[in-house]
A and B are shown apart, each in its own frame.
Chain A
Amino acid sequence: MGTLAQQLVNGVVIGAVYGLIALGYTMVYGIVRLINFAQGGLYAAGAFIGLEVVEILQAHRVESPALLILAALAGAMIATGALAFLVERVAYRPLRRAPILSALVSSLAVLFLIENVIQLLTGAQPQTYPSLLGLQPWTLGPITLAPSGLLIVLVALGLMGAMQWFVQRTRTGRAMRAIAVNQEVAGLMGVDVRRVVALTFVMGGALGAAAGVLVGLNYGTITFNMGELAGLEGFTAAVLGGIGNVPGALVGGLVLGLLQSLITIVLPNQWNEAVVFAVLIAVLAFRPRGILGERVAERA
C-alpha cells in the first residue's frame, strides 16, 4: 500500500517534468504543426545555462537559495528563449513553405547541433547542480517527497496555467489561435504571422528551459544528451494529452509519469521504455487525438 502511494507520488513528479517539456512541443505544434525535435535540445541547453547562472552568482557570493533558483530559472528561460528565436529564424522560417519533411529534418539537425555544441563546451562530462533546496525530503507515513519534487509540480502547474491564460485570454493568444486555424486568413486579418510564430517558438524554448533547470535542481546531474530521451518522452506526453492542447500537455505528462511508475510494480525495469513506446504507438494508431483532443484552436 505504501509502495503504491509512493509510486503515485513518483509518477506525479516525473509526470510534471514530462508535462513541461510537452508544453513546449504542444505550443509550437498547435500553431505551426511542426514536431519541433529541437525542443529536447533546448531543454538540455536550458539546464546547462541555468547551472552556469547559479555558478556565476555563487562565485559572486549570492547564497540565498530562493534567489539562486529564481535567477537560474529566469536566466535559463530568457537565454533559451533567445536561442529558440534564433532556431526559428534560421532553421524554421525559411522552410515555412517547404514540405513538412524538410522542417522535421531541419529540427532534428538542430537537436544534434545543440547536443554537439554542449558536448564541446563541457567536454562531455556530466555536470552537477548544487543542492539548493536542502537534502531532507519530507516524509508522511510511508511516502517521501523531496522539496524540489514539489517545486517541479508547482512550477509546472503555474506555467501551464499561465500558458492557458495567455493563449485563451490575451490578444496575442487569440492571434495564435487564429494562425492555428488558418495561417493565410489570419495574416489577411491583420495578424503579424511571423512575429506570433517567432513568439511561439520563444515560449516553447523558455518552457523547455524551465523543465531543464527543474530537472537539474531535483535530480542533480545533467548531461549533454539528456534531451534525446526526455524529448521523446515529452513528445509522447504531448500526444497522449492531445497535441496542441495546453492543459492536455500536463494531463498527458501525468498519465505517462503514472503509467511508467506503476509499470515498475509488475514489469522488470528494463522494459519500461518499451512500454512507453508501445503506448505512444497505440495512442497514435487508435486515438491520435489524445485524451483531451487536439489543437489549441479546436478548443477555443
Chain B
Amino acid sequence: MTGLGRLPLPASAVRLWQARRRPRVRLGLRVGGLALVAGFASAPFWLGNSYDTDVFCDMALWAAIGLGLNVVIGFAGLLDLGYMAFYAFGGYTFATLSLHLGFSLWEALPLGTILAGVASAVFGFPTLRLRGDYLAIMTLGFGGIVDIAANNLSLTGGANGLYGMAPQSVFGYQLSTNNVIGYYVLALALVAVAALATYRFRHAKIGRAWACIKDDELAAAASGIRVTRCKLQAYVLGAIWAGVAGAIFAAKQGLVSPETFTFDQSFFAVAIVVLGGMGSIPGVILGAVLYILISEYFQGITGTYSGLIFSVLLLVTVLVRPRGLIPYTPGQRVRARARDGPPAGAGSAPDPLPLEDFRCAD
C-alpha cells in the first residue's frame, strides 16, 4: 500500500483505496466489482455481434475447462499436462454418436462423460501413485497417444476431424452455430455450475483431504487418508468435467478435429490455472479471460506476438506472484469472520489458521 503512493494515480483513487476498509466503502467496492463482473459477462448481449459472442463463448468454455483442471492441479496438486485428451473424449463421442446414430447433444453427453471418466480411471489407477513430476510426464504421454489416435482412426475422421453434426437445441430453443449466443449462455451456466460444485468440493471432506495431500503427501497418508484413492477421485472428476465441456465445445464449433487437443492446448489449460491462481476459483476464471483476451483481442494490436506475450506473462506471474493473480488462501471463511472485528494493526502476525480446515478426512 505504501507502494501505491508512488504510482501516478489520481488523488481520489488513492483516497478511495485508503478508505477501502470502511464498511460502507467496502460494500460500495464490492457492489461495484460485482457490477463490473456482471457487465463484463453480459458484454455479448450489448455488444451484439457474432464475433464478440464467439470469443466470449470460448472464454467461458476455457473458464469451465480451467475450473475442472483446477480440481486436479489446484486442489489435489497433480500436474496434468494431457488434460485436453479428456476434452477430446467428450467432443468425439458427441460427434460420432450425432453423425452415425443421430444422438442429440443431451443424449450423447452422458456417454461422453462416462467414457472420459472410465479412460481417466484406467489411466490414473496405475499412474497416480507416482511422484508429481513423473505424473506430469505420463499425462503428457497420454495426451500424445490420444492425439495420435484421433489423427489416425477412421472413427474419428483422421486429420479432417468430424463435422456436419445436426444443430442442437436446449428446452426447445435452437442453438445456432452461426451466432453462438445460445451456446454462450450454456457455457456461462457451465462456469457457474463448475464454480459452485468445486467450491462445495473444496469445503467438503474430500476437499480437505486433497489439501492435505497437496501440502504433504506423507503426512496425509500417515493421518489415514487413502492418498491414491483421493487423487484418483480428483483426476476422474476433472476428466468427467472436461468431457462435458468438450461435448458442448464440439456442438458449438460444429466440428471436432485433432488440433484442438494437442499438447499446446493442454499447456494453455495449465497456464490458465497457474496464471489465475492454483486453487482459486475467481483466479482461474480471470486466467481464462486473460488468455482469450490476449490470443484474440490482442491480435490486431500486437500482430503475431500473442504467444510471446502469453508466455512472458506466465513466467512473470510464476516468479512475481507465484500463487497467481488472485491467490487462494485457505481458511477464507474464518478470516472473513475475523475481519468483521476490529481491524488488526499493520505488521501483526497472520491470523491463526483454523484447525478444522486442516483436519484430514477419510
Contacts and interface: CB of A to CB of B under 8 A. Distances in A.
Interface of A: 33-35, 90-91, 94-95, 98-102, 104-106, 108-110, 112-113, 115-117, 119-120, 228, 232, 235-236, 239, 270-271, 273-274, 277-278, 280-281, 284-286, 288
DSSP class of B's interface residues: helix, strand, loop or mixed? Answer: helix
B318 A274 contact: no
B239 interface: no
B258 to A, nearest CB: 12
A106 to B, nearest CB: 5
B325 interface: no
A101 B73 contact: yes
Contacts of A112: 267, 307, 310-311, 314
A95 B318 contact: yes
Given A120-B308, A235-B137, A281-B142, A228 B319 contact: no
A284 B138 contact: yes
B145 interface: yes
Interface string B51-85: 00000000000000000000001000101000000
B16 interface: no
A116 B307 contact: yes
Interface in B303-331: 304-305, 307-308, 310-312, 314-315, 318-319, 322
A98 B322 contact: yes
25 contacts: A35-B137, A91-B315, A99-B77, A101-B73, A101-B77, A101-B132, A102-B318, A105-B314, A105-B318, A112-B267, A112-B307, A116-B308, A117-B308, A120-B305, A270-B148, A273-B148, A274-B144, A277-B141, A281-B142, A284-B127, A284-B134, A284-B137, A284-B138, A285-B130, A286-B126
B245 interface: no
Nearest to A98: B322
A119 to B, nearest CB: 8
B288 interface: no
A181 B339 CA distance: 45
Interface residues of B, number: 40
Contact of B141 (A110, A119, A228, A278): A278
B340 interface: no
A34 B278 CA distance: 20
A288 B137 CA distance: 12
A100 B140 contact: no
B79 A101 contact: yes
A281 B141 contact: yes
A288 B318 contact: no
Nearest to A94: B319
Contacts of B131: 288
A105 B271 contact: yes
Given A35-B136, A239-B137, A274-B145, 19 more contacts: A33-B133, A91-B319, A101-B132, A104-B133, A105-B79, A105-B274, A109-B271, A109-B311, A112-B307, A112-B314, A113-B312, A116-B311, A119-B307, A120-B308, A232-B144, A274-B149, A277-B145, A281-B142, A284-B137
A278 B312 CA distance: 32
Given A91-B319, A106-B315, A117-B308, A271 B152 contact: yes
B270 interface: yes
Contacts of A278: 141, 145
Nearest to A280: B141
Nearest to B312: A113
A256 B274 CA distance: 33
Contact of B152 (A34, A35, A228, A270): A270
Contacts, number: 115
A271 B149 CA distance: 8
A280 B81 CA distance: 14
Contacts of A91: 315, 318-319
A34 B332 CA distance: 32
Ranked 6 nearest A-B pairs via Cβ: A277-B141, A112-B311, A116-B308, A109-B315, A113-B311, A109-B314
Nearest to B270: A105
Contacts of B312: 109, 113
Contacts of B140: 232
B263 interface: yes
A277 B126 CA distance: 15
A13 B308 CA distance: 34
Contacts of A104: 79, 133, 136
Given A110-B315, A274-B145, A288-B134, A102 B322 contact: yes
A117 B152 CA distance: 32
A270 B151 contact: yes
A78 B79 CA distance: 33
B301 to A, nearest CB: 16
A94 to B, nearest CB: 5
Contacts of B138: 280-281, 284-285
B276 to A, nearest CB: 12
B271 to A, nearest CB: 7
A171 B131 CA distance: 31
Contacts of A236: 141
A113 B77 contact: no
A106 B271 CA distance: 10
Q: Which of B134, B137, B274 has the most chain A CB within a 10 Å cutoff?
A: B137
A69 to B, nearest CB: 32
Contacts of B145: 274, 277-278
Nearest to B263: A228
Contacts of A120: 304-305, 308
A141 B21 CA distance: 85
